[in-house]
């Protein structure tokens, strides 16, 4: 019941806020009074839901911690075996591609020899034009595609993806650099307008923040 009452109280506030247009001191006072009322309601909400959230969070935190503890050996084992599987797959794929290229080159040489022999035969039979045309024709042996030697295992798959590592920070283009907002915010809070000269490339301005709270 208590939560329903607070919810109903909170739901009425936006309508009151929309109805207030600050045009003079009287409406300004009315707006600040509503702001204080909002703070009071939010305090009630904190007092009502705070213990519930704290208890739920504690239970959640404990459950997550226990889950991580039980899973830790499995995470460690995965971290060991997955890279080994990946390395083996990459190694076998490299072996397959190397052999594929070798066989493709052999096929090209055979096709070249066969084409040359046929051109010689045409030349010997007096068909010089046809022999010349055959010699000039591109050699197109059938492609050699070797099947993968690693067996497929149900439930286990692999995929390739590109990653990167930093090689020379000085050569990274400007558009890929990130501004350190946390550090700049700290300097601006400390120096105000003078932070522009320290950081460079920024404009500092003052912003009014409205605070509310019962004394």
pLDDT recorded at residue 81: 93
Residue 171 has what DSSP assignment?
G
Q: What is the DSSP letter of 185?
A: H
pLDDT of 92-133, one tens digit each? 999 999 999 999 999 999 999 998 898 899 888 888 888 889
Give the up-direction half-sphere exposure of residue 206: CA atoms within 13 A in the CB hemisphere: 6
CA distance 63 to 181: 35
Closest CA to 3 of 53, 39, 49, 43: 49
22-76: per-residue pLDDT in tens? 999 999 999 999 999 999 999 999 999 999 999 999 999 999 999 999 999 999 9
Residue 29: the pLDDT is 93
Q: Are 137 and 112 in contact (CB under 8 A)?
A: no
pLDDT at 53: 93
For the stretch 177-210, pLDDT in tens is 999 999 999 999 999 999 999 999 999 999 887 7
Q: Which helix (H) or strand (E) holds 49?
A: helix 25-124
Looking at residue 1, what is its pLDDT? 63
d(CA 105, CA 59): 66
Residue 126: count other Cβ atoms within 10 Å of its Cβ: 9
């Amino acid at each position: 019941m208590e939560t329903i009452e607070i919810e109903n109280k909170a739901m009425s506030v936006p309508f009151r806020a929309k109805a207030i247009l600050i045009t003079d001191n009287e409406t300004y006072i009315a707006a600040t009074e509503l702001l204080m009322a909002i703070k009071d309601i939010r305090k009630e909400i904190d007092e009502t839901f705070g213990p519930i959230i704290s208890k739920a969070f504690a239970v959640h935190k404990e459950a997550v911690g226990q889950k991580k503890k039980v899973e830790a050996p499995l995470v460690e084992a995965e971290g060991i075996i997955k890279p080994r599987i990946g390395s083996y797959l990459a190694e076998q794929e490299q072996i397959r591609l190397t052999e594929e290229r070798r066989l493709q080159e052999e096929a090209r040489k055979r096709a070249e020899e066969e084409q040359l022999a046929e051109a010689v035969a045409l030349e010997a039979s007096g068909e010089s034009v046809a022999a010349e045309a055959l010699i000039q024709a591109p050699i197109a042996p059938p492609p050699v595609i070797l099947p993968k030697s690693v067996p497929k295992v149900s439930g286990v798959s692999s995929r390739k993806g590109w990653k990167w590592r930093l090689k020379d920070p000085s050569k990274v283009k400007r558009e890929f650099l990130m501004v350190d907002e946390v550090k700049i915010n700290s300097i601006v809070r400390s120096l105000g307008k003078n932070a522009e000269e320290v950081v460079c490339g920024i404009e500092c301005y003052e912003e009014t923040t409205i605070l509310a709270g019962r004394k």
